[in-house]
């Protein structure tokens, strides 16, 4: 265990912070199939904005590569590739399977494979292990070993960074669990928690985000009811949270790679073992409809204002969450598309979003600067700090005489805007 060489497979929001932290302590290989990504990282530029230049400089034991042959000396392989859902919301394991096949080529005696990607309960040993055995021709728990340590990265969060979040660890036997724990303890300042089995660790991960999804769905439903009753939702929440055991969730659009995906993984496995959950996907159903709901509310208000020409709408923020460039599963993209189909003139402004990905994947082009006295409606869809810094007066100046502000994320107080969620 003293001379481990770590290989991180996949250098996205999860893999890169891991690679950098391990690269400060242990010889580490950061591998990604995206050559452009590797070239950017070698220049100490991270488009996800999770890692700053100073951190790269401290990781002097980290090497970056898109050539899989450079994985040959690794003793520990940590897989951090995305595990999305397909167009029918079934687990899409293509990227994971590809990563496993690559890893299998370089397994040797006593190699350790740790999965960090979100999975359903049992996936590590039921799906990953057979692939590793087949393509390595080695035997599980004899020649190579496995662990599962769910990622808990919160993209864009500069306070709860990787090393400050308690790490759940597990292994395929006691000795392996001890090895996994030893490895992560080198970088995790918040400490580790040893799960009793891989399957327990997998289940814990998937319910963390499912629970959050359900709680947000409840608040979204509350927001819809409050709007119909002409009550400010944020006022209701502020009043309710004066009680010690009130869970302080707020309504909003739910996107990203985890919360909007993990419930489907748990649902899929549950159905496989003969139980169809009643609650899990009810939350998904509500949250998936929120883009349609807020768009319909926006259009009602525009109609009330009797705009006789083609309405002009500014969407402020298109990422899935505040202060993060990630646009995966962003519900704001849905809002933009709905409005386009309604023949609404749309400008989208976001000083943080991944412009290239938006253009390539969603055909959305960002404007460099909003116009003054121009828009019939300004929707603040994401609570970026930069939007708050602009101030309500400057945002108000973007509206024309009949224009209004629809603040989905309570960026400003309810008294300062015409509409909020």
Active site (catalytic) residues? 258
Instruction: Tell me the two tokens of residue 280.
Output: 């899990």
Give the number of other CB atoms < 10 A from CB of residue 43: 10
As a 3-state breakdown, the chain gives helix, strand, coil percent values, each rounded to 5, of 40, 15, 45
Distance between start and end Cα atoms, the chain = 52
DSSP one-letter code for 197: S
Q: Are 311 and 342 in contact (CB under 8 A)?
A: no
Q: Tokens representing 112? A: 């350790």
What CA–CA distance (Å, rounded) separates 217 from 249? 9
Q: Tell me the C-alpha distance between 139 and 341, whole Å.
A: 55
* Paired strand residues for 387: none
Measured between alpha carbons, how far is 140 from 244 in angstroms, rounded to an integer? 49
**Contact partners, residue 186, CB within 8 Å, separation at least 6:** 22, 25, 26
Which residues, including other chains, have CB under 8 Å from residue 52's CB and lie 6 or more apart?
46
The bridge status of strand 76-79 relative to strand 111-115 is: parallel
Which residue, among 78, 69, 67, 73, has the nearest Cα to 19 in the 3D structure? 78
Phi-psi region of 277 (alpha: psi -120 to 50; beta: other; left: phi over 0): beta
């Amino acid at each position: 265990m003293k001379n481990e060489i770590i290989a991180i497979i996949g250098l996205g929001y999860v893999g890169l912070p891991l690679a950098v932290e391990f690269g400060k302590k242990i010889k580490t290989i950061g591998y990604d199939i995206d050559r452009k990504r590797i070239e950017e990282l070698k220049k100490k530029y991270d488009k996800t904005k999770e890692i700053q230049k100073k951190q790269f400089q401290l990781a002097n034991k980290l090497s970056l590569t898109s050539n899989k042959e450079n994985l040959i000396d690794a003793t520990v392989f940590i897989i951090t590739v995305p595990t999305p859902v397909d167009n029918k919301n079934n687990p899409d394991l293509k990227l994971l399977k590809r990563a496993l096949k690559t890893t299998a080529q370089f397994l040797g005696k006593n190699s350790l494979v740790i999965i960090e990607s979100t999975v359903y309960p049992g996936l590590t040993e039921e799906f990953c292990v057979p692939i590793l055995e087949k393509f390595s021709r080695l035997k599980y728990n004899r020649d190579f070993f496995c662990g599962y340590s769910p990622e808990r990265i919160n993209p864009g969060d500069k306070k709860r960074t990787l090393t400050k979040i308690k790490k759940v660890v597990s292994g395929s036997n006691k000795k392996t669990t001890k090895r996994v724990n030893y490895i992560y303890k080198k970088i995790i300042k918040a400490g580790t928690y040893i799960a009793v089995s891989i399957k327990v660790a997998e289940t814990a991960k998937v319910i963390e985000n499912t629970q959050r999804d359900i709680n947000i769905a409840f608040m979204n439903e509350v927001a819809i009811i409050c709007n119909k009753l002409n009550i400010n939702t944020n006022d209701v929440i502020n009043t309710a949270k004066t009680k010690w055991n009130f869970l302080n969730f707020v309504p909003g659009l739910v996107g990203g790679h985890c919360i909007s995906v993990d419930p489907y993984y748990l649902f899929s496995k549950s159905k496989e073992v003969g139980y169809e959950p009643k609650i899990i996907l009810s939350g998904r159903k509500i949250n998936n409809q929120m883009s349609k709901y807020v768009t319909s509310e926006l259009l009602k208000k525009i109609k009330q204002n009797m705009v006789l020409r083609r309405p002009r709408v500014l969407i402020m923020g298109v990422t899935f969450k505040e202060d993060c460039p990630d646009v995966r599963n962003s519900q704001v993209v849905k809002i933009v598309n709905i409005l386009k189909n309604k023949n609404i003139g749309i400008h989208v402004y976001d000083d943080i979003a991944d412009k290239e990905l938006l253009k390539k994947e969603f055909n959305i082009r960002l404007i460099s600067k909003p116009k003054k006295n121009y828009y019939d409606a300004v929707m603040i869809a994401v609570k970026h700090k930069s939007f708050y810094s602009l101030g309500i007066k400057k945002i108000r100046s973007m509206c024309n005489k009949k224009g209004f502000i629809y603040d989905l994320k309570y960026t400003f107080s309810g008294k300062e805007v015409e509409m909020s969620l």
